[in-house]
Amino acid sequence: MRSFIYDTLILRLTPRWYAEVLKRVPEGAAVLDVGIGTAGALLANADLVKCKRLRITGIDIDERHNAQGEQYAPPPIVTS
């Protein structure tokens, strides 16, 4: 339920912010996303991540968010 609430309320805002950050990251870089939530913002920008060949590692304090993120974006897109 918490993941649903997160995705419903927070995910409306974060994909654009995430995209702006990813545009500034050098091609081929490794990125640590602390507080990745359910990885929804990452998934919304998956094409940019793949195009730039980024390696994303995400972690969240909520284990349920980590599990949800791994389900939505399995490695190699996201690792935790």
Least confident of 4-18, 33-47, 61-75: 61-75
Q: Residue 14: helix, strand or coil by DSSP? A: helix
Q: Supply the pTM of this predicted model.
A: 0.72
Q: What's the distance, CA 8 to chain centroid? A: 15
Helices marked H in the chain: 2-9, 14-24, 40-44, 46-51, 63-72
Domains and CATH numbers, the chain: 2-79 (3.40.50.150)
Average pLDDT, stretch 48-58? 91
CA distances (Å), origin 32, targets 25, 39, 44, 79? 11, 12, 17, 10
SS3 (DSSP) at 77: coil
